[in-house]
Amino acid sequence: MISLVDLTAQYHSIKNEIDAAVLSTLESGHFILGPQVAKFEESVASYLGVKHAIGLASGTDALVIALRALNIGAGDEVIIPAYTFFATAGTVMSVGAKPVFVDVNPQTYQMDVSKIKPAITPHTKAIIPVHLYGHPAEMNPILEIAREHGLKVIEDNAQGYGAEYFGKKTGALGDIGCLSFFPTKNLGAYGDGGMVLTNDSALAERMRMLRTHGWKKKYYSEEVGYNSRLDALQAAILQAKFPHVDAWNEKRRQLARRYTEHLAPLGVVTPVECEWAKHVYHLYIIRSQKRDELQAFLKQKGIASEVYYPIPPHLAEPCRKFGSKEGDFPHAEQAARETLALPLYPELTLAQQDEVIAAVKEFVG
């Protein structure tokens, strides 16, 4: 069986470092925030080139706390792509605001910047570009539109750790960047974890308060916040993985190029990497009008694959109240019908990859 991702293989590749990090944390007695979290926050801030990195309990919490820090709530609107993980829409709804969808570029799956201005209303407060699958969104035009209209930009960089836009790291380009350290991410913990990033010291202070019950001083709540703190154990694990992430991302890029070299000549729709982008291939996504049949065929061959995502958020049940219907965002809906993730992770062997390529080739005929 070839897995979509093999987390055990990664663990064994750096087992001594992970084990030492875990034992050191257990012996320290610091399990919530503390020096392990502070060290990892400093590492990420330095890597991405931001002043403040604040560890949280999940990537979803990162989006919620970013929205709260920008005072976005009831009556406000936030522009998001119509093709993304539901959390991008769900977090906007959870603070009482309305997600306003725009269609995506059918090649990159990124927000179609030409659709943003028509979606802006007097109620619009922010734009959330999503660096989906590890390919950067077109940040310069998005930031320009935001400046013109007085909007904030929150980068959903859950899938783009290490990706670059014109040589600059994603997650560090907007007002706030959001990271996820879910185990399958390019830099993943052994449980949930997230982070918010900003160069704005006032926003950073507010987000630190929001992650801990609205406290500046312990037990003195100044507003209603959350209990959303990155565990010290997860921070230690992430810090141990941190020096390897660039090499892992490069291996993903090499494997992705190899997939494309073999699959594109077969007529398979393979991922695009724009000239201004450094794609980190959190997922390697192909498209097929016979996607479900292909997935079933791969399963018969002992090859895992996954659909990301079968329902675009505007058609998800919680969003139906906003009035979107099938056909409103055709590129997003087509992507939801046709996209399929093939196995891709740094420890995937060439022999395993050849097996996947051969199976796809056999299906295509």
Residue 309 lies in a domain: yes
Scored b (16 or more CB within 10 A) or e, 286-305 reads bbbeebeebbebbeeeebbb
Question: pLDDT value at position 298?
Answer: 98
Average of per-residue pLDDT values in the chain = 97
Number of independent structural domains in the chain: 2
Tell the residue number behind the tokens 């055709």, with chain if given.
330
Whether residue 167 is found in the same domain as residue 106: yes
DSSP letter at 159 equals T
Q: What is the CATH number of the domain that holds 98?
A: 3.40.640.10
Whether residue 90 is found in the same domain as residue 236: yes
Q: Would the pLDDT of 59 be above 90?
A: yes
Q: Would the pLDDT of 347 be above 90?
A: yes
Whether residue 101 is found in the same domain as residue 90: yes
Rounded distance, CA 304 to CA 296, Å?
A: 9
Q: Give the count of alpha carbons within 13 A of 182, CB side only.
A: 16
Residue 1 lies in a domain: no
Whether residue 213 is found in the same domain as residue 313: no
Q: Which two three-digit tokens encode residue 108?
A: 């990159």
Tens digit of each residue's pLDDT (9 = 90 or more) over 279-323: 999 999 999 999 999 999 999 999 999 999 999 999 999 999 999
What residue type is assigned to position 321 of the chain?
Answer: K
Q: Would the pLDDT of 241 be above 90?
A: yes
Q: Give the count of alpha carbons within 13 A of 70, CB side only.
A: 29
Residue 48 lies in a domain: yes
Tens digit of each residue's pLDDT (9 = 90 or more) over 177-227: 999 999 999 999 999 999 999 999 999 999 999 999 999 999 999 999 999
Whether residue 155 is found in the same domain as residue 199: yes
Mean pLDDT of 266-283: 97
Whether residue 228 is found in the same domain as residue 268: no
* 141-146: long-range pairs with CB below 8 Å, 24+: 141/113, 142/111, 142/113, 142/116, 143/173, 143/174, 145/113, 145/116, 145/117, 145/120
Residue 267 lies in a domain: yes
Beta bridge partners of 341: 285, 306
Whether residue 176 is found in the same domain as residue 263: no
Rounded distance, CA 143 to CA 78, Å?
A: 14
The CA-CA-CA angle for residues 245, 246, 249, to 5°, reads: 85
Residue 118 lies in a domain: yes
Whether residue 254 is found in the same domain as residue 185: no
Whether residue 183 is found in the same domain as residue 253: no
Question: pLDDT value at position 234?
Answer: 98
Question: pLDDT value at position 244?
Answer: 98
Q: Would the pLDDT of 18 be above 90?
A: yes
Whether residue 94 is found in the same domain as residue 193: yes
Residue 138 lies in a domain: yes
- pTM of structure: 0.97
Q: What is the CATH number of the domain that holds 359?
A: 3.90.1150.10
Residue 184 lies in a domain: yes
Whether residue 183 is found in the same domain as residue 264: no
Tens digit of each residue's pLDDT (9 = 90 or more) over 80-139: 999 999 999 999 999 999 999 999 999 999 999 999 999 999 999 999 999 999 999 999
Residue 2 lies in a domain: no
**CB distance 98 to 119 below 8 Å:** no
Question: pLDDT value at position 249?
Answer: 98
Question: pLDDT value at position 365?
Answer: 85
**CB distance 154 to 176 below 8 Å:** yes
Q: What percent of the chain shows pLDDT beyond 70?
A: 100
Structural domain boundaries enclosing 329: 245-364
Question: pLDDT value at position 212?
Answer: 97
Look at residue 24 and give its three-state secondary structure.
helix
Tens digit of each residue's pLDDT (9 = 90 or more) over 138-167: 999 999 999 999 999 999 999 999 999 999
**CB distance 306 to 294 below 8 Å:** no
Q: Give the count of alpha carbons within 13 A of 74, CB side only.
A: 0
Whether residue 278 is found in the same domain as residue 177: no
